[in-house]
Amino acid sequence: MYTPLAKEKFDSLTKKANEGGPITILAIETSCDETAVSVVKDGRQILSNVIASQIDIHQKFGGVVPEVASRNHTLAINSCIEKAILDARVDITEIDAIAVTYGAGLLGALLVGISSAKALAYTLKIPLIKVNHIEAHICANFIEYKDLTPPFLAVVASGGHTNLYEVEDYNKYVPIGGTTDDALGEAFDKVARLLGLPYPGGPEIEKLAKTGQATIKFFKNPKASFNKDLSLSYSGLKTAVVNYINNARQRGEKLAVNDICASFTKQAVDMLVDTAIYAVKNRGIKNIALAGGVASNSYLREKLIHEAEKIGAKVFIPPSILCTDNASMIASRAYFSILSGENIADLTLNAKANLCYNA
Ligand code: KG4
Ligand code: ZN
């Protein structure tokens, strides 16, 4: 069951978007530990970007506790919605559609955002649009780079995902590779935890890596730096680092933490960069867009730009605030759905913990 008049309004929004807009979307993102609400015009112009982070709350547990995340979303969501509308300086009646992340993510956390989005869409009698979180990460690039157009290769590296997509069109995100086990951000977080560093581990490892030497070889016989089927694996590297640290501790050796951080970063990131460069060369793609929380990592940014330059490819990287979870990227993804008349949701919309392409 659609919200009242939603289908007719959605069709007229599609028409309006194709005639040049303007389309104003309020988007909600609650898939993990950020309660985020944004108002975005025409998919690329941020009017407000409110993010209530729960990092401080989860830090004492060393990682995100799903039930705690859900409870804190319920506490934060209404004030985030209010602030997003106030910051955007729009009247609530100017909002054309509500967008919401329906997956992938933590089920209870997602349901908080979905319930609020349904309530808003129902009362305002405007369409509800469902958004795939991973595709939305890629759309952060459309916000930052107004002239970026498909086709391009997207490399999404976050706490939950490490995937390569061939973005054929604004609405066609074809998965072509990625991790078969841990995500890159997850590996950063796990290594950091073992070293006694706070959550989230990625930024902490980055800080220490800056003054370390990447000289430690965690594998005796390292494998090829990429697989031709574009698959990646981080659990082997993570285990090798864990063994290295535990062995050193058992021998009573002082850990060269900065060198461990630099060496882990280099090996983990090089795998991703080598895979991306192989994909680009193999498929004749010219542009690479980076996305997801790990895209904030300066070694990843520099290495990818350096390697891409060698083969004449161009790299796009959003600013950190748009790399980590935010709702502006959700609004952007929803705008392109409106443009092509896809992904309208009804009031039966449910959360999905795992999400394959177009699931
Ligand atoms: O995209 P994101 O905010 O949330 C998910 O959708 O997962 O990504 C969070 C992940 C965490 O694993 C965090 O440690 C990692 O991104 N991260 C980083 C950096 N900043 C965040 N990893 C490496 N270097 C960073 N500078
Ligand atoms: Zn994310």
Q: 52, 73 in Cβ contact below 8 A?
A: no
Residue 70 CA to ligand 2 center (angstroms) comes to 16
| Residue from 294, 302, 325 whose mutation best tests the ligand 1 pocket (most atoms within 8 A of CB) | 294
**Helical H segments across the chain, by residue range:** 6-18, 55-59, 66-88, 107-124, 133-144, 184-194, 201-209, 235-250, 257-283, 298-310, 320-323, 328-340
Residue 272 CA to ligand 1 center (angstroms) comes to 15
For the CA of 160, the closest atom of ligand 1 is 7
For the CA of 34, the closest atom of ligand 1 is 3
Ligand 1 pocket by Cβ (under 6 Å): 32, 158-160, 185, 188-189, 200-203, 206, 292-294, 296-297, 324-325
In this structure, the number of other CB atoms found within 10 A of the CB of residue 95 comes to 19
Residue whose CA is at the smallest distance from ligand 1 atom 8: 293
- Which ligand is the nearest neighbour of the Cα of 33? 1
Residue 158 CA to ligand 2 center (angstroms) comes to 6
Output the pLDDT for position 359: 34
Output the pLDDT for position 356: 58
Output the pLDDT for position 355: 79
Output the pLDDT for position 160: 87
For the CA of 199, the closest atom of ligand 1 is 14
Output the pLDDT for position 100: 98
Residue whose CA is at the smallest distance from ligand 1 atom 14: 202
Strand (E) or helix (H) holding 53? strand 45-53
Burial class (CB in 10 A: 0-12, 13-18, 19+), 275: buried
Amino acid at 289: A
Q: 168, 153 in Cβ contact below 8 A?
A: no
Q: Give the C-alpha separation, 8 to 5, whole Å.
A: 6
Burial class (CB in 10 A: 0-12, 13-18, 19+), 224: exposed
Residue whose CA is at the smallest distance from ligand 1 atom 2: 293
Low-confidence stretches of the chain (pLDDT < 70) are: 1-4, 222, 356-359
> For 93, which DSSP code?
G
Residue 6 CA to ligand 1 center (angstroms) comes to 36
Residue 206 CA to ligand 2 center (angstroms) comes to 19
Q: Give the C-alpha separation, 164 to 145, whole Å.
A: 19
Output the pLDDT for position 62: 79
Residue 91 CA to ligand 2 center (angstroms) comes to 29
Output the pLDDT for position 357: 41
For the CA of 185, the closest atom of ligand 1 is 12
Output the pLDDT for position 256: 93
Residue 109 CA to ligand 2 center (angstroms) comes to 13
